[in-house]
Amino acid sequence: MPQKVRIALDAMGGDIGVSVVVPGAAISLGRHPDTEFLLYGDSKQIEAQLARLPALKAASRVIHTDVAIAMDDKPSQALRRGRKTSSMWLAIDAVKKGEADVAVSAGNTGALMAMARFNLRTLPGIDKPAIAAVWPTMRGESVVLDLGATIGGDAQHLTALAVMGSAMARVLFDIERPTVSLLNIGVEEVKGVEEVRAAADMLRALNLPQLEFIGFIEGDGIGKGSADVIVTEGFSGNIALKTAEGTARQIGEYLRSAMSRTWSSRIGYLFARGAFKALRDKMDPRKLNGGVFLGLNGVVVKSHGGTDAEGFAYAVDVGYEMVRYDLLNKINQTLNRDSGALTPAAQGVLS
C-alpha cells in the first residue's frame, strides 16, 4: 500500500477561513482517501467543522494556534507578527520539518510567499519563486506563470520563469521540448516593454535545448493554447487569471438568464442540458484554483482567497498530485540539469 500523502492546511487562511478550508479538505479526501491532514488554526472552530465530517476527522490532526495572518497584512508585518506562531507559518514549517509533504493556504499571497521563501529557501539559481498553474485551453492545457508571486521582473527573471515553466510542462505533459511564449501586447518583435523584449532576445540567443521559444503571444493566445508554457511577470499574470475567472462567471450568468427567459428556451434547455452541463463544467473557474510555488525547497500551493469549498478542494488536489507523482523532485532534477540558464552569467550571451 502506498504511503499516505500528508497535507498541512492553513485553516485560517482566505476570506472565510475554516468554514471553507475544512469542508474543502473533506471533498478532496473523498477523491483521494490516501490522504492525511494537519489542520493549523483555532481548534474550537476547526473541531466544530470536523464534528460534521467524521471521515475527515479520522484522517486529521488539529494543531491549535491563536495567530492568523490577515488578508490585508503586508508581508513584512506578517513575518514579524506571525513567524513561528501563525497557522500559515506552521503549515509551511511542517513541510520543512518533514511532518507534511505539502502546505496549502488560501491566505494572503504576499505573506505566504514571504514566509515560504524565508522558511523553505529557494533552489540554487532561483532568485524569485513563481506561482504556476495548469490552464485549460482549446488545445488541452498549458502551464502559465507567474500568476502573482512577483510584481515586475527583468529579462533574467523572465528567462528563469521560462526554464521553470518548461520543466513543469515536461513533467506534466510528457513533452520533451515544450513550446514557450512571452505574454505581450503584440506578436511583433518591436512591441512591449523593454524587459519583455530583452527576455525574448535572451531566450533566442541561449537557444536552450529543454524548451522551444516561439516568440510573443497576446492575451487571447492563452485560451487558444498557443504555447505549452506562457510566461509573464506576476502583475499581468494575476490580472489575466482574474479576468479569465470573471469572464467564465459572466458567460455562465448570461447562459442561465437566457435559458430561463421564455418557455421555449426552457424547453430547449431540457433537450440540451447535457451539453450545457459539459460547458458549465469546462468553464468552472474553481477548476483553475491551486497555484504551485515553483522554485522552493518544498511544495506550497496557493488557493484563491475568495473561493468556496469545492474550489479549495481543487487546490488541495493540486498539492496531492504534486506529491503523489513526485512532480517537485522531477522538476528540480530538470532545473538542476539546466541551472546554467538561470545564472547571471547567462546574460553574457547578449553582451
> Is 102:95 a contact under the CB 8 Å cutoff?
yes
The pLDDT score that the predictor gives to residue 351 is 41
Short-list 68, 134, 149, 151, CA closest to 107: 68
> Is 149:241 a contact under the CB 8 Å cutoff?
no
The pLDDT score that the predictor gives to residue 125 is 73
Cα–Cα distance between 240 and 251 in angstroms, integer?
16
Ordered structural domains, the chain, with CATH: 1-126+295-330 (3.40.718.10), 127-288 (3.40.718.10)
The pLDDT score that the predictor gives to residue 187 is 82
The pLDDT score that the predictor gives to residue 333 is 73
pTM of the full structure: 0.82
The pLDDT score that the predictor gives to residue 350 is 42
The pLDDT score that the predictor gives to residue 48 is 97
The pLDDT score that the predictor gives to residue 37 is 98
Class of residue 91 by CB neighbours under 10 A (exposed 0-12, middle 13-18, buried 19+):
buried
The pLDDT score that the predictor gives to residue 146 is 87
The pLDDT score that the predictor gives to residue 349 is 47
The pLDDT score that the predictor gives to residue 77 is 84
- Number of Cα atoms under 13 Å in the Cβ half of residue 4: 14
Mean pLDDT by 10-residue block, N- to C-terminus, for the chain (351 residues)? Answer: 88 93 97 97 97 97 94 86 90 96 94 92 82 86 87 88 89 89 88 89 90 92 91 88 75 69 61 52 62 90 91 93 83 67 52 41
The pLDDT score that the predictor gives to residue 78 is 84
Class of residue 176 by CB neighbours under 10 A (exposed 0-12, middle 13-18, buried 19+):
exposed
Q: Give the position of cell 501586447.
A: 185
The pLDDT score that the predictor gives to residue 126 is 79
